[in-house]
Amino acid sequence: RVNLEGSSSIVTGGASGIGEATARQLAEAGSKVVIADLNEERGSQIAKEIGGVFAKCDVTKTEDADAAVATACELGPLRVCVNSAGLGLPARTIDRNNEPMDIKGFDFVIQVNLVGTFNVLSRAAAAMAKTDVMDTDGSRGVIVNLASCAAFDGQIGQASYSASKAGVAGMTLPIARDLSAVGIRVNTVAPGLIDTPIYGEGEHAEAFKAHLGQSVLFPKRLGRGEELAFTVMECITNPYLNAEVIRMDGGIRMP
Ligand code: NAD
């Protein structure tokens, strides 16, 4: 197993859900965690609880990503970057009046989920590449991105979300190839339906949860953030896990 004692980590979206659960497990494993998120109040609270640091960060901004990476490097050699910041903006391709979707909404989702992920991971990778090797095998660090099962299927109103997550899944292998020479592994976890604040309330949330009926898990239930974090931690600590996109949906196959 990769030993994280004395290392530092960045977790974008670490103020909620899967990112929060991952930040907690990283801290338990001995890493100093930078919670890089827009949500200052919640992010600072969690950082305090786990002995980490909060960095206010919009993942789409290069200067915010640079600042979060610099903060992490002050805490110890940066070994881990988890990109969990993400969101959806449900909108149909054409609306009920047959008018086209606002392209700004589509672009916003791509910017946060796909461009934002690349923005942070590329800056984290550059910092990792400048550190000494961790182990005698020459490894330096690991990146884990959060895609979604929506990368492979996708529901009504989810064109931008599915496109963004397919992008995250699709860039996993080329980035792993790019970074292999400097000893950085890259993996992606693609969750199904996980019980976090991302769905909010209302019609959209209910429509998603209705897919629970397709689960082959008994009893049927949503996944928990900490269960996703177990898989993220496996991606981080198993030195032979690389360039993989791992579906993690408890057996829900949405039509
Ligand atoms: P969440 O809503 O609980 O947490 C997302 C976090 O990202 C929030 O703290 C939010 O403040 C932060 N964030 C949003 N935009 C940001 C930005 N521009 N810069 C920095 N931080 C930003 O969501 P979650 O359920 O924990 O999801 C984590 C990741 O997993 C997301 O990428 C999401 O798309 C993906 N995912 C979640 C599910 C699910 O069922 N929960 C399913 C598939 C994929």
The 10s digit of each residue's pLDDT in 93-133 is 999 999 999 999 999 999 999 999 999 999 999 999 999 88
Q: Reply yes or no on whether the pLDDT at 208 is more than 90.
A: no
Residue of the nearest CA to atom 19 in ligand 1? 58
Question: Ramachandran region of residue 157, left (φ > 0), alpha (ψ -120 to 50) or beta?
Answer: left
Ligand 1 pocket (Cβ < 6 Å) reads 12-13, 15-19, 37-39, 57-60, 84-87, 112, 116, 146, 148, 191, 193-194, 196-198
Of the residues 9, 36, 146, 161, which is catalytic?
161
Cα-to-centroid distance, 175 and ligand 1 (Å): 22
Helix (H, G, I), strand (E, B) or coil at 149: helix
Q: Is the peptide bond before 219 cis (omega within 30 degrees of 0)?
A: yes
Q: What is the mean pLDDT of residues 155-182?
A: 97
CB 63 within 8 A of CB 70: no
Q: Considering just the CA atoms, what is the radius of gyration of the chain in Å? A: 18
Q: How far is the CA of 214 from the centre of ligand 1 (A)?
A: 23
Nearest alpha carbon to residue 77 among 148, 10, 156, 172: 10
- pLDDT over 90 at 255, yes or no: no
Query: Which residue, judged by its Cα, is nearest atom 13 of ligand 1?
Result: 85
Q: Which atom, in ligand 1's list, is nearest to the CA of 222? A: 40
Contact 182, 197 (CB under 8 A): no
Active site residue 199: no
Assigned fold of 8-247: Rossmann fold (3.40.50)
CA-closest residue to ligand 1 atom 26? 17
In angstroms, what is the span from residue 87 Cα to ligand 1's centroid?
5
pLDDT at 137: 78
Q: How far apart are CA 195 and CA 18, in angstroms?
A: 9
Residue 55, classed as helix, strand or coil, is strand
CA atoms within 13 A on the CB side of 186: 26
Residue 26 has pLDDT above 90, yes or no: yes
* Contact indicator for 76, 32 with CB cutoff of 8 Å: yes
% of the chain with per-residue pLDDT over 90? 85
- Pair type for strands 78-83 and 8-12: parallel
**What pLDDT does 15 receive?**
98
Cα 84 to middle of ligand 1, angstroms: 6
pTM score, two decimals?
A: 0.98
d(CA 213, CA 215): 5
Best mutation site among 10, 12, 16 for ligand 1 pocket (most ligand atoms within 8 Å of CB): 16
Report residue 253's pLDDT band, with 50, 70 and 90 as the boundaries. Answer: confident
